[in-house]
Structure 1
Amino acid sequence: MSDRRMKFPYTFSAKIAQFPLRFYLKNQWVWRYYFISLVACSPVFIAISRLANSPANKAKWAEMKRKELAEHHH
């Protein structure tokens, strides 16, 4: 970053360049707990995704949709 800063950063890139990200990461609890919760919740989300996308569940879902479609056509 150069020494000549804009008095008001009116371009998007100037706003990004002058944003005090380090200050926010250091002084706000939300950022710290966001990353901790992301790590803590990832195994749960992965397990749910694997269960939802399993071949048995996909077959069950297709059968339910087939029955639903058959009811609407009669």
Structure 2
Amino acid sequence: MSDAPGRPMKFPYTFSAKIAQFPMKFYVQNQWIWKYWMIGIAVATPVFYKIHKMANSPANVSKWAEIRRKEAAEHH
């Protein structure tokens, strides 16, 4: 696969031509959002993992099963 088309259109009017000629490398290198998006994912992943582990612990699962059992008994 080549880096750029051999003879690019002056105006890429098809969707695939627009995608092929879009300067994605320029945007990734020069916009702040890409860097902070990756930092945000790196910071949030351990937090969400900890919340997931606490919510799905055996003690918490049995506690919520008991709460659901009591609610179901009240409705019948």
Bin for the TM-score computed over the shorter chain: 0.7 to 0.9
Partner of 1:54: 57
Report which structure shows greater RCO (CA 8 Å, sep ≥6). Answer: 2
1:1-74 aligned within 5 A: 1-6=4-9, 7-11=11-15, 13-73=16-76
The total of aligned residue pairs comes to: 72
State the TM-score, normalizing by the size of structure 2.
0.78
> What are the ranges of 5 or more consecutive residues in structure 1 without an aligned counterpart?
none
Give the Cα–Cα distance (whole angstroms) in 2 for the partners of residues 70 and 15 of structure 1.
60
Note the C-alpha offset of 1:14: 3.3
State the TM-score, normalizing by the size of structure 1.
0.80
**Aligned structure 1 segments of 4 or more residues deviating by more than 4 angstroms:** none
Percent identity between the aligned chains?
54
